[in-house]
Structure 1
Amino acid sequence: MGKKSRLSPIFKKAFSYLFKKPATTKYPFVKPELPPDTRGKLVYDITACNAIDFGVGADFRIDVKSITGTNCRVCMRDCPTQAIKIVEVEGRKRPQIDLNKCIFCCQCVESCPRDAIRQSGFYELATTNKDSLIMKPTLNKSEGASQ
């Protein structure tokens, strides 16, 4: 009779993996190469968000808004998680984006008539301070738009 192997199948499998290429990456030491359409942190340009103000530009939403007397708020309306709310900054109403609620669906980017909201390739949003993920719209004269 032939001898049976003393190693169980699980040990054989584990031993075989010692000589194979690792399945994991060396992140965070080596950053992965991301495809160009990666959905990362939202970038908000407060100077481009003129759709909220009355009588600016020739966009059809502006014309409709002038007649009805309502603000644009398209990004807030189309956000499926209500991660965007309109706040007043320097006498003008601007969107405030809460990245804690955002699912990065890109709907606000598609909806914005002025392309004021864009997706970036930045995806490392881990933080110990939850408030740092709320993008408050501010306009500093020396720094320009910030998010």
Structure 2
Amino acid sequence: MKTNALNALLAVSLMFGGAWICSDASAAPRQNASTVTTTKVYAPGSAESSSIYAWIRDKSPEYAPVVTGTEISVTTTTVSSDKATVAALPSPPVPLPTSGTPGQTITIISTFANGGFESWTYTWNSRSAGGGSWALSGYEYKKGNLNIQ
């Protein structure tokens, strides 16, 4: 009697184990994705920094730069399973791009002389019908140690 119960238990476990293995084996294969992050710093008062301030005002006028004429760093992060696309990505271009790739981010940090900063992070949101837009996904402002005149 014990042998029949053990055989039945073994058969049930193999059945569930086999189903688990089959469902696991039929799962969609994972894509190998690469993440590329590039940063470029622009000098205060440069033509590039003026272009970046204009891009920020265009994309998020309610979060326009508080202080201009500061050093600006621009960081882009792109995730792609296409290694050729990732290898061909340039450093952050100026003017900043009007379009992007799904999930791509651009972070802009304006550093004040008094130790403060202002930062914006934008994420490219694709539309199912094609195209998309840069959406502000993060904003931070720190006044710094001195009063800004």
Q: Which has the higher contact order (CA 8 A, sep 6+)?
A: 1
User: Normalized per residue, which structure has more strand?
Assistant: 2
TM-score (structure 1 length as normaliser): 0.28
User: Normalized per residue, which structure has more helix?
Assistant: 2
